[in-house]
Amino acid sequence: MCHCFYLSIRTRDYKSRRFSCVRSCRLDQTRGPLPKGIERREREGNTMATTALLVCDIQNGIVDRVQSQDTESFLQRLSETIEAARKAGIQVIYVRVAFRPGCPEASLRNASFARIKAHGGFTESDASTQIHAAVAPREGDIVVTKRRVSALYGTDLDLILRSLGIETLVISGLSTSGVVMSTVRQGADMDYKLVVLEDLCQDTEQEMHDAAMKVIGKQAQVVGSAGWVAQL
């Protein structure tokens, strides 16, 4: 006997609930198993299920621009952290910056993107906008394309996060003073819990990285990747 029948008995409202009963029962009979990711989140009900790892702007054109002596080990640490997150059931979301041909999304009034609009490049199919091979996305990962500095501005990232029940954002990326800081500031205003993996963020200059981290630390928990992975 379905749950709708018992509900109608308790409320003594048989006729008005007849249609909803039939509809609900049919849904119960036709509803298949949930996708693995959703099923895992509903079953676990823990902080892993409500956490997402954001991998921001780790794309060829930006990795080359922020190139340093530590780049190879940086990418290795990031790759290991991404894999640990996957194994822990944490959703991995890549964010890249790219534009349509002709960059119609870029305004000449925007100092950051006016040069791209004027000279071209960074189109969606260009090699510069593809995720670096060392940390390439896998099945189950999500890739979001942005048109501005923040991962949350003008993208569907917030919609994805809320649809998945994500409450905590763990952020890594290039550069610290760019996408990382912008995403932290906007994410804080949107009431997300924020964690920044300090050694998985870099900038063109160490001084800029350090200064940005001082500001970021006012709105996010700043930790090392090894410590974060250890508590998964």
Please indicate, yes or no, if residue 64 is contained in any of the structural domains: yes
pTM of the model: 0.80
Quickly count: other Cβ atoms within 10 Å of residue 13's Cβ.
11
Can you give the pLDDT at residue 5? 40
Beta strand 193-202 pairing with 221-223: parallel
Please indicate, yes or no, if residue 25 is contained in any of the structural domains: no
CATH assignment at residue 140: 3.40.50.850
Please indicate, yes or no, if residue 96 is contained in any of the structural domains: yes
Please indicate, yes or no, if residue 221 is contained in any of the structural domains: yes
- Alpha-carbon span 156 to 164, nearest angstrom: 12
Please indicate, yes or no, if residue 186 is contained in any of the structural domains: yes
Collapse the DSSP code of 146 into the 3-class scheme (helix H, G, I; strand E, B; otherwise coil) and give the result: strand
- Alpha-carbon span 81 to 173, nearest angstrom: 12
- Alpha-carbon span 115 to 218, nearest angstrom: 32
How many domains, the chain? 1
Can you give the pLDDT at residue 114? 87
Stretch 22-47: mean pLDDT: 49
Domain that holds residue 92: 51-230
- Alpha-carbon span 200 to 176, nearest angstrom: 9
Q: For a pLDDT cut of 70, what percent of the chain falls above it?
A: 80
Does the N-terminal peptide bond of residue 175 adopt cis geometry, omega within 30 degrees of 0? Answer: yes
Tell which residue, 94, 95, 100, has the closest CA to residue 116. Answer: 100
Can you give the pLDDT at residue 121? 81
Q: Which two tokens stand for residue 199?
A: 């050694």
More confident residue, 135 or 31: 135
What is the C-alpha end-to-end distance of the chain, expressed in Å?
Answer: 43
191-226: string of b/e by CB count within 10 Å (b at 16+)? ebbbbbbbbbbbbbeeebbeebbeebeeebebeebe
